[in-house]
Amino acid sequence: MQTPFRFNYLLAIFFLFISARVSAQQNNYQLWYNKQAQKWTDALPLGNGRIGAMVYGGVTDDHIQFNEETLWTGKPRDYNRKGAFQHLAQIRQLLADGKQKEAEALAQKEFMGLQSDAGDRAAWVNEVKSGKGIPGNPALPAFDDTKWPDIKVPVYDGWETAGLANVDGAVWFRTQVDIPANWQGKDLVLDLNRIYNQDLTYVNGHLVGNTDNNEPRKYTIPAKLITKGKNTIAIQVLNYNDKGGILGYKDAGKFISFYPEGQDSATGISLNKNWKYKIQNETPPGVAQYQGSYQPFGDLNLHFNQDQNHVRHYKRSLDISTAISKTTYTYDGVEYQRTYFVSQPDDALVIQLSADQAKSISFSADLSSVHRQSAVKTLGQNTIVLNVQVKDGALKGESRLTAVVKNGSVKVLNNKVIVTKADEVVLYLTAGTNFVDAQNVSGNPVTRNERALLNLKNKSFDSIKDAHIKEYQSYFNRFQVSFGHSANESLPTDERLEKFASSKDAAFAALYMQYGRYLLISSSRPGTQPANLQGIWNDLLSPPWGSKYTTNINLEMNYWPTEILNLQSLNEPLFTKIKGLSVTGKETAKEYYNAKGWVLHHNTDLWNGTAPINASNHGIWVTGGGWLSQHLWEHYLFSQNKQFLSQEAYPLMKEAALFFEDFLVRDTKTGWLISTPSNSPENGGLVAGPTMDHQIIRTLFRNCIAAAKVLNIQDDFTKSLASHVEEIAPNQIGKYGQLQEWLEDKDDTTNKHRHVSHLWGVFPGDDITWDKNKEVMKAAKQSLLYRGDDATGWSLAWKINFWARFKDGDHAMKLIKMLIKPANNGAGSYVNLFDAHPPFQIDGNFGGAAGIAEMIVQSHQGYLDLLPALPGAIPTGSIKGMLARGGYELDLDWNEGKLTALVIKSKTDGNCEIHYAGKTKTIITKVGETYKLNGDLE
């Protein structure tokens, strides 16, 4: 008989075990940290598809940077160069003659899209050079700069990171140098390297250099201009947009310097130090842009009279099962908690501040913005308003912050919300712009904010939170995944990230899948804009690549998880975007190719630009519309929704195919139909006949033929496609056993380019499969081996999907570990698990999540292929709610690498063919029925 002590001891051990299991399971849905965010890529992302927020979780000062998805630069305008098609034949002929550079030069001059209007730069430069806006002449040695502030020089990332945040315009820099006596009478070299954008450089009042390009600055100073003792260097820097200032060298080991001619900087005087500076003018003329850029909106700043050194038990977390972030800590015996979420039902960022003791909450809150044209005003005793205007653009926005206080007091003083000795506070942040659609900017952000705040009035925090969770989980709960447990589940996420590559932590890969789903739900709800290069999150006025929509893979990769990971309704923003692009793309097709249908080149923005942009060696790529059409067809394959196919997908697919029917030309050397001019993104320049184009176009034609068959359409269009599809240049195997990237066999096996565009037919397409042609599949694999594993973040994600299709799960897992590793100035993941290109690009998160799923189920060959690339690192697992082509929803379990259970829920009547471990089984399914099988498919 057990003693009471023995029984109680065992009971305690049991509850500890259960508690540990629950805690581990919770950690499979949580990102958490025991220190506050230090930088943007440490902060935790929240979003409702329209409003995005990045939560830093500071104790003394909390920072929530926020976005509204329609705040962009630019305005509605025509992006198309009229009559560009008149130069098409000549460009094609130059390419046919092997004159690539001449073709690119002509295309750059006559075939690129139209840029936005630029301001009068010459007039502005003359104005600032004349000294307007600054007293005296700062170039002169005797000029008094003693009251000027100091700034670090140089700063390779721009003066924005050294205190001149978001400053464009004219800024003076001054410093003094003591020249050694033995340098007297010698010509000297002033080496400044990079300056953005233009500099007028003076030595002792004499102009010694004036450069207005991206070339390094290295000026020779005649000996006669150098004086004994102190010499004054004064530089007037004119910056028009993006980062500015004296950038110096990217290599931190090099310094800007003064040295005698004939020597080098190592023998010189370093100028890396604090200089004096003065802003002369902050209104430079607008810079012509091909497309708009996504913009930050503002910052919510919370200030607490609390000493960081007295904080105990700090934790900040993001629960991706509820889309709620929390910051908790103990301070002077009081337990504090902040709860943050962005509600879709109530259209607001909501923050609750609470404590376990009454009257403990005192703080101030203010709004600010990086936009130079921004202002804050007071609205009543508990609300402040932030207004922003985008520079040189049509869009403006308004955000409102309202505080609802339980007990205590609230007032607004100097445009700050002041809360004193409250028991609880709930903050509501709303935001809106004047954007209506790509042709209409007549909206009123005030109305949207008023409507949102009126809707929130008299609602309890708990009811708002419950509605938020219910709406969010209507997406999130459709899919579940477990890859077992690991010892690392008890670690903070940053520590777990560091250990992932070298430890057994398959559960972290499961968390990464769900985090990808979380990010897509947060940045792409029905009725919103699609997720852009950074989803919905951006804190920079000049974000990388404009944080727009790059359509030669990145936009498409964003939506790879929607079908297989059971987020089909999140396709709606993408499909709406495709409809808009088909309208502007028709004009582009007409003006550039004199063709029917619609075309999309390699980038687009909020305004649905479809013309070629940037440079002819990569900007003229014609198959964006074809690739996006693949998403329409895939949605039908997964959903079996004939109404969607008939009313939405097929009309858009047909118009895309009509363009290529007109666009393709017959190659005089081979007799094949080829795509020209185009590009194999973003590799090899302007060419005729890139393999990727032919894969996309051939697949589009076949999909249109298949769709017409489903819809019982028999017409001349489908007959024409059927006659042309076999004439398109085929996939070719080159002299190195590789799949050729171009029409000619000119692949370089040492090329490690991040794009592996000619493998599109392997994934996401199905132009190349093991069943269709094993030899071409092997050649594609050889191409990937030549390309290598190392890559940018999104490229790693793409390669995971390739290796899954090659059925090499262990190689795919190797790349997963490369993708989910600390991003130390290279590819990987940031502390908050954002994907690092670097810098941050969200497509790697989405592509990686889809790639892990592709290792577990594939359905692109017309049957369910179970565990086709399961790696040894994931021996045990369970998935519920995975979707497959044919209209199936799957639950499957495996143990020790072997399938143990399979449940198929069917959305259609028909034959469901299943392949697993060399076995094949076909079951006849009925709509709405469920079928359960064991590991032997019985």
Report the candidate in 517, 611, 506, 621 with the shortest Cα–Cα distance to residue 563.
Answer: 517
| Residue 492, CA distances (Å) to 19, 495, 506, 514, 618 in order | 18, 5, 16, 17, 42
H or E segment to which residue 472 belongs: helix 461-476
- Radius of gyration of the chain measured on its C-alpha atoms: 30
* pLDDT tens sequence across 171-182: 999 999 999 989
Q: What is the pLDDT of residues 195-214, one digit of tens each?
A: 999 999 999 999 999 999 88
Average pLDDT (768-797) is 96
Rounded average pLDDT over 608-614: 98
Q: Which helix (H) or strand (E) holds 701?
A: helix 691-710
Check pLDDT > 60 for residue 17: no
pLDDT per position as a tens digit, 309-332: 899 999 999 999 999 999 999 999
Cβ atoms of 901 and 928 closer than 8 Å: no
Q: Rounded CA gap, 729 and 741, in Å?
A: 12
**3-state DSSP: the chain helix, strand, coil percent, rounded to 5?**
30, 30, 40
Is residue 846 a contact partner of residue 519, using CB atoms and an 8 Å limit?
yes
Kindly list the structural domains of the chain, giving each domain's residue range(s) and its CATH number in brackets, ordered by start. 34-70+291-477 (2.70.98.50), 80-113+534-730 (1.50.10.10), 121-281 (2.60.120.260)
Q: Is the peptide bond before 838 cis (omega within 30 degrees of 0)?
A: yes
Q: How far is CA 328 from the centre of its chain?
A: 30
3-state secondary structure of 318: strand
For residue 355, what are the CA distances in angstroms to 19, 200, 767?
Answer: 25, 57, 59
Burial letters for 167-184: b for 16+ Cβ neighbours within 10 Å, e otherwise? bbbbbbbbbebebeeebe
The 10s digit of each residue's pLDDT in 819-836 is 999 998 899 999 999 999
Task: List the structure tokens of 543.
Answer: 């974000």
Residue type, 586: K
Q: CB count, 10 Å around CB of 737?
A: 15
The dihedral sign for the CA sequence 256, 260, 264, 268: negative
pLDDT for residue 24? 43
Using the Cα atoms of residue 659, residue 663, residue 666 and residue 672 in order, give the sign of their dihedral: negative
Residue 14: pLDDT over 50: no
On the question of pLDDT at 883 being above 50, the answer is yes
**64 token code pair:** 């929530």
> pLDDT class for 752, splitting at 50, 70, 90?
confident
Contact 672, 730 (CB under 8 A): yes
| Whole-number pLDDT of residue 26 | 53
Q: What is the mean pLDDT of the chain?
A: 95
pLDDT of residue 319: 98
Q: What is the pLDDT of residue 23?
A: 43
pLDDT at 294 over 90: yes
Taking 70 as the threshold, does the pLDDT of residue 424 lie above it? Answer: yes
DSSP per-residue letters across 324-340: EEEEEEEETTEEEEEEE
State the DSSP H helix or E strand holding residue 691, giving kind and residue range, or none if neither: helix 691-710
Is residue 873 over pLDDT 60?
yes
pLDDT at 465 over 50: yes
Reported as a single tens digit per residue, the pLDDT across 696-714 is: 999 999 999 999 999 999 9
Nearest-angstrom CA–CA distance, 561 and 544? 23
CA-based nearest residue to 707, from 623, 640, 626: 640
What average pLDDT does this structure show over 535-564? 97
DSSP 867-929: STT--TT--SEEEEEEEETTTEEEEEEEETTEEEEEEEEESSSEEEEEEETTEEEEEEE-TT-
Q: Over 50: is that where the pLDDT of 283 sits?
A: yes
Res. 15: pLDDT tops 50? no
pLDDT band at 8; cut points 50, 70, 90: low
Does the pLDDT at position 92 exceed 80? Answer: yes
Q: What is the pLDDT of residue 266?
A: 83
For residue 276, give the H/E element and its range.
strand 273-281
The share of the chain scoring above pLDDT 70, in percent, equals: 97
| 667-699 CB burial, b ≥16 within 10 A, e <16 | beeeebbbbbbbbbbbbbbbbbbbbbbbbbbbb
Tokens 């006596």 locate to 181
632-691 per-position pLDDT tens digit:
999 999 999 999 999 999 999 999 999 999 999 999 999 999 999 999 999 999 999 999
What's the angle, vertex CA 7, arms to CA 6 and CA 8, rounded to 5?
95
CA distances from 649 to 528, 623, 634, 694, 705 (A): 19, 17, 10, 21, 13
